[in-house]
Amino acid sequence: MPETVTAADLFSLKGQVAIVTGAASGIGRASAELLASAGATVIAASLPSDHPEVAAEEARLRGLDVESFACDVTDQKQLSALVKHALDRHGRIDTVFCNAGVALDTGPHTVGTDTELDLMFDIHVRSVIRLANLTLPVMADQGGGTFLIMSSLSGVRGNSFLGQYGVTKAANAQLARNLAVQWGAQNIRVNSLSPGVIATAFAEPITSNPDAAARRLAKTPMQRFGEPYHVAGAVVWLASKAGSFMSGQNIIIDGGTVISD
C-alpha cells in the first residue's frame, strides 16, 4: 500500500530551524512568519538599521517562534556569527533563505557605476556563496536541508532600467543550479525564486507611480501585483516535505508577466 500522507504532514516544518536574511520587512518578513507558522524556529536576520528585533517581537506576540539577529550579509565575520548563533542555540540548520537585497540602478548600463554593481554583487551573490559554504556542510552532516536564493524577474528578462541589478539576479539563479548539482547527493535541495512586482516597500517606485503601475499591469495577465505571502508560500513549500523532490529550479512568481505577449 502507498504511504498515506496529509497536507498537514507534507507542509509541516515542525522541528526545523530556518535562517532568513533581509527578514525585517517585505518578502523576508512574510517568509519568516510563514515558516514559523508551519512549525519552524526562525532566525530573522537583517541590518541593525532595519531593526529586525521589532519584527521578531511582533511575530512572537502572535505566538510565532521567531528570533532576531542583526547582521550585514556583506561581512564574512557577521555571517559566521549568524551561523554560529543558530548552531549554538539550536544545534542544527534545516533551511536557509537568502533574501537580502537592494536595487541601486538609476538607468541603463551607461550610467551605472562600479560602486553600485560591486555592492549589489556583494549582497546578492558573494554573500550567498559565503552563507552556502557555511551552512551546506552542516546540512550534509545532518542528512539534508533546503537552501533558497532570492532571484528576480529582472534576472530572466532584458531590462532597460534594472540592468545591473538584473545581472546579479541572473547570477543568483545560476548559483542555485550550481549548488543543486554540487550538493544534491547529500540530500540538499537548492532553488531560486524570481518574483515579479510584489506589493512591498521595495517595489514602491512601480506600485506607487500610476503610470509605471499601469504599464506593468498591462503586461501582466492577472492584472494585479503580488503580495508577500505569494512568495512566502513558495518558501514554505520548498522547505517542506512537499518540495523535497524540487531542486535546481528558478521558480517564477509573477502573475504571468514573463509569458505574456
**Taking the alpha carbons of 111, 116, 118, 120 in that order, is the dihedral positive or negative?**
negative
From the candidates 154, 169, 192, 240, give the one annotated as an active-site residue: 169
- Per-residue pLDDT at 137 exceeds 50: yes
Q: What is the pTM of this model?
A: 0.96
Confidence grade of residue 4 (pLDDT, cut at 50, 70, 90)? confident
pLDDT of residue 1: 40
What is d(CA 113, CA 184) in angstroms, rounded to the nearest whole number?
37
Q: State mean pLDDT over 124-128.
A: 98
From the candidates 165, 192, 194, 247, give the one annotated as an active-site residue: 165
- Per-residue pLDDT at 112 exceeds 80: yes
Confidence grade of residue 2 (pLDDT, cut at 50, 70, 90)? low
Q: State mean pLDDT over 155-181.
A: 96
Q: State mean pLDDT over 105-127.
A: 95
Q: State mean pLDDT over 13-34.
A: 98
What residue has cell string 554573500? 127
Give 79's contacts (C-beta < 8 A, 6+ positions apart). 71, 73, 127, 130, 131, 134
- Is 240 one of the catalytic residues? no
What is d(CA 133, CA 102) in angstroms, rounded to the nearest whole number?
22
From the candidates 46, 152, 192, 247, give the one annotated as an active-site residue: 152
Give φ, ψ of 239 to 5 degrees. -80, -15
**pLDDT above 70 coverage of the chain, percent:** 99
Confidence grade of residue 120 (pLDDT, cut at 50, 70, 90)? very high
42: which strand partners? Answer: 18, 66
Query: Averaging pLDDT over each range in 42-46, 104-108, 161-165, which range is the top one?
Result: 42-46
- Is 219 one of the catalytic residues? no
**pLDDT above 90 coverage of the chain, percent:** 94
Task: Write the pLDDT tens digit of every residue in 141-152.
Answer: 999 999 999 999
- Per-residue pLDDT at 50 exceeds 80: yes
Task: Tell me the CATH architecture of domain 7-198+227-253.
Answer: 3-Layer(aba) Sandwich (3.40)
pLDDT of residue 9: 94
Task: Write the pLDDT tens digit of every residue in 190-246.
Answer: 999 999 999 999 999 999 999 999 999 999 999 999 999 999 999 999 999 999 999
